[in-house]
Amino acid sequence: MEWPSDDKAARLTQTWRAKKAKYQKYASKGKVEKLERALARQQAKLQQAIDNGKPNIFTEHKKAKCDFTTTMLRTAMLVRNLKTAGLMRRERVKVVSALPQFAEARAAAYAAAYGVPYAGARRAETPPPAEAPADAPADAPAAA
């Protein structure tokens, strides 16, 4: 198989970035049906690539797209259910990323969006507890 030229590869990468942003927007609004349709299309293309004997790297790329969309679909289901239950405001929630290494940034973004304290930030601001002096009795309270 002949690999695409650099121009075509850049164009395909840019197209996937745009679709990723669109899918994140769908997830933040709770649009489950749109993500289900996108996932069905992606799975059909993946199966077609497997049936046609495409290289492993190509099918792995298609699988990664399906995995990303599946994650966005789960997020959209959560958002939709929270909105239905009245536990979330109706405006759109910013989905920072579906990757685990961005979980803390995602938690901070949600906390900022809803005006709730963020536990990660609180941990950094809270000073460590004061220790009792070495010569103080064991039952004496720590010095404040």
Q: Which residues, including other chains, have CB under 8 Å from residue 24's CB and lie 6 or more apart?
A: 72, 95, 98
Residue 84: which pLDDT band, with cuts at 50, 70 and 90? confident
Residue 9: which pLDDT band, with cuts at 50, 70 and 90? confident
CB 68 within 8 A of CB 98: yes
pLDDT in tens, 114-128: 666 655 544 445 555
Q: What pLDDT does residue 120 have?
A: 58
CA separation for the pair 62, 27 (Å, rounded): 20
Residue type, position 42, single letter: Q
The 3-class SS string of the chain reads: CCCCCHHHHHHHHHHHHHHHHHHHHHHHHCCHHHHHHHHHHHHHHHHHHHHCCCCHHHHHHHHHHHHHHHHHHHHHHHHHHHHHHCCCCCCCCCCCCCCHHHHHHHHHHHHHHHCCCCHHHHHHHCCCCCCCCCCCCCCCCCCC
Residue 30: which pLDDT band, with cuts at 50, 70 and 90? very high
Break the chain into its structural domains and give their ranges: 13-107
The pTM for the full model equals 0.58
pLDDT in tens, 96-117: 555 555 556 666 666 666 666 6
